[in-house]
Amino acid sequence: MSHVRSMALSENALFGMGNPLLDISAVVDKDFLDKYGLKPNDQILAEEKHKALFEEIVKKSHVEYHAGGATQNSVKIAQWMLQEPHKVGTFFGCIGADRFGEILKQKAREAHVDAHYYEQNTQPTGTCAACITGDNRSLVANLAAANCYKKEKHLDLESNWELVQKAKVYYIAGFFLTVSPESILKVAKHVSKSNKIFCMNLSAPFISQFFKEDLMKVMPYVDILFGNETEAATFAKEQGFKTEDIAEIARDCQNLPKQNEKRRRVVVFTQGKDDTVATVGDKVTMFPVVDIDQNAIVDTNGAGDAFVGGFLSQLVMERPLEECIRAGHYAANVIIQRVGCTFPEKPDFH
């Protein structure tokens, strides 16, 4: 089976671009969340008031460091699901010339992802504090270097653009809209013209709220839109959809204007332990997730990224939507039973 699979897949078939971050993960209490004004389950960008949070979290007794960043996580998970050949996944992003940057490079190599980082030395490598309470995670991202990605310094370079063109499936998390919308648009337009598949994620409520204009510039090029229930609800509210029903929101997202009419947009919303909602042609279908004992959940950080990674692993092999979703559920189920977005040596997905 694996032999047949590797024949069909070429290196760099999956392209991702985003914010490479080092996750600093620790279990905290409610007082810690309150002190820094954090919701138990959220993703935000660090502000001045969060400076001390990063100093405090590294002193926690069980602090762990893992390579992170939403898009990078998803590309790694897809590569892990596929196993062979190596370097099916390509990743672009910006890091600093420092120890954390070296760790990210090392971790990408270990995951067999073809990472091409733009390295600069004005800003240190970005970090993300993952504040874990029970099965919730509050993420605070200090983008730093990740915010310094430059289209003309990296994406436009001939050797890099050739890697972009090699791909057939593309994934960029909405988070990257805060960094380089012009890079996203360049990639999205290439994908649309070539009739390949461009995937995007709503990523966090603040993207739909404060980066609405850039998000909607990219939306016509989006072939597959991912998000979770909270992000879907926020997006619907911001767009003035007249519904709070997640299936109807999915339908409304599907019907937003689209550039490449050869491909009908697919919308996929996860809802934690509840069914995943997806548009299948004219219908909206519910796909139940893998049952799990609540006690088996170690932390839900990375669950959404893992879902997308599992999904992309089958998409790049041109499997049907149902299989893509099943693989997404499988990967998310594995990830939530481990700390951060980490995975065992081999998948057991059939």
Catalytically active residues, by annotation: 305
What's the number of CA atoms in the CB half-sphere (13 Å) around residue 133?
14
Closest to 206 (Cα-Cα) out of 175, 176, 179: 175
- At 122, the amino acid letter reads T
How far apart CA 106 and CA 103 sit, in angstroms, is 5
Closest to 163 (Cα-Cα) out of 81, 236, 90, 213: 90
Burial class (CB in 10 A: 0-12, 13-18, 19+), 297: middle
Sign of CA dihedral 230, 273, 71, 224: negative
End-to-end, the C-alpha distance of the chain in Å comes to: 10
What's the number of CA atoms in the CB half-sphere (13 Å) around residue 205?
11
HEC profile for 17-60? ECCCEEEEEEECCHHHHHHCCCCCCEEEECCHHHHHHHHHHCCC
